[in-house]
Amino acid sequence: MDILNRLETYAKVLSQEPMRKHTTYHIGGNVDYYIYPNDILALMNVVDLLKEQQIPFHVLGRGSNVLFGDEPYHGAIINLDKTFNDYYIEENGKVTVQAGCSIINLAVETAKRGLSGLEFASGIPGSVGGALFMNAGAYKSDMSAVVTEVCVYKDNSIVWLSKEQLEFAYRHSIFQKQRDWVILACRMQLKPANVYEIQALIESRRQRRIASQPLDKPCAGSVFRNPKQMPAWKIIDEMGYRGYQIGGARISDKHSNFIVNENDQATAHDVMALIEMIKTQAKKEFDIDLITEVEQLNWKK
């Protein structure tokens, strides 16, 4: 039985799948196996099988924080969005949610039930798994403010890790060091509050995003983390790069910490060329080492 047949025992598998279909940048070469495991047992078998066959893999959510290289990726992408997206919401604000659930959907559903805490996430187009990995955040809040425990598949076991074990910091979690762990689910504690006030806050933030972000173009949100000295967009502006374009990739005219895929023609190399140019110049002009927020997958180091 070949590897594809074996994987298909446990999952829906797409072969030679273009990653541009699975990233919000609309960028990325073909991956050998794009895998939707049927359930938790199947997922464990898929991970074990990939490890046994020494096939490299990543777990991906909505691909909204990823710059995936243009070359073919001889490995596998596991995606939990279709089969791991259940959630349970108690009236007292205790939420249990699987990693593939959209964080926007969860924010909407918890808001409807008069639970406050996820307003910051209502415009972040990722999965719960991706949000935990990144400790995604906005408006002075982030995942670490609401998460109490995370369920992980690691070292052949399923374990619940407490928030204290997750090393949450600004756009950082322990998962960025433990690349072969699979985030399965988490528990959060939200606070009961007035439904109309929560929904009004979400709506005002939606308007702010529409006004300030290039949401009509393929992108992956903020490219650089904000250094302590000043916001990344300001550094880029002061260097005069707003609107600068290489190939199909352009520093957004609307928000200079966003790089957009202009007319869907950009390659990962175009985006990377802009990133490298900005980093080099920021070091030269401001002596600041900019750190990318966007994850680079399928890049040779």
The residue among 93 and 126 lying less far from ligand FAD, judged by its C-beta, is 126
- Give 141's contacts (C-beta < 8 A, 6+ positions apart): 119, 120
Please report, for residues 93, 110, 244, the alpha-carbon distance to residue 279 in angstroms, rounded to integers and kept in the order given: 42, 39, 14
Instruction: Point out which residues bind ligand FAD (CB under 6 A).
Output: 24, 58-66, 80, 99, 124-127, 129-131, 133-134, 136-138, 175, 182-183, 213, 215, 219-221, 295
Nearest distance, CB of residue 167 and ligand FAD, angstroms = 14
**Residue 111: how many CA atoms within 13 Å on its side-chain side?**
19
In whole angstroms, what is the distance from residue 134 CA to residue 118 CA?
Answer: 15
**Strand 73-79 to 30-37 pairing:** parallel
- Residue 219 or 274 with smaller CB distance to ligand FAD: 219
Nearest distance, CB of residue 84 and ligand FAD, angstroms: 8
- Across the chain, which distance is largest between two alpha carbons, in Å? 59
Q: Is 293 a catalytic residue?
A: yes
Token code pair at residue 47: 């991970």
What's the min distance (Å) between Cβ of 139 and ligand FAD? 8
For residue 250 the two structure tokens come to 């352009």
To the nearest whole angstrom, how small is the minimum distance from the Cβ of residue 291 to ligand FAD? 14
CB of 2 vs ligand FAD, minimal distance in Å: 26
What is the rounded CA–CA span in Å between residue 5 and residue 292? 38
Residue closer to ligand FAD by CB (options 33, 133) is: 133
Instruction: State yes or no: is 205 an active-site residue.
Output: no
Looking at 64, 122, 222, 252, which residue is catalytic? 222
Q: CB within 8 A of 1, min separation 6: which ones?
A: none
Taking the CB of residue 236, how many other CB atoms lie within 10 A of it?
Answer: 26
Instruction: For residue 71, give both structure tokens.
Output: 């070359």
C-alpha R_g of the chain:
19
Between 85 and 281, CB nearer to ligand FAD = 85
By beta-carbon proximity to ligand FAD, the closer residue of 110 and 114 is: 110
Catalytic residue list contains 171: yes
Q: What are the catalytic residues?
A: 171, 222, 293
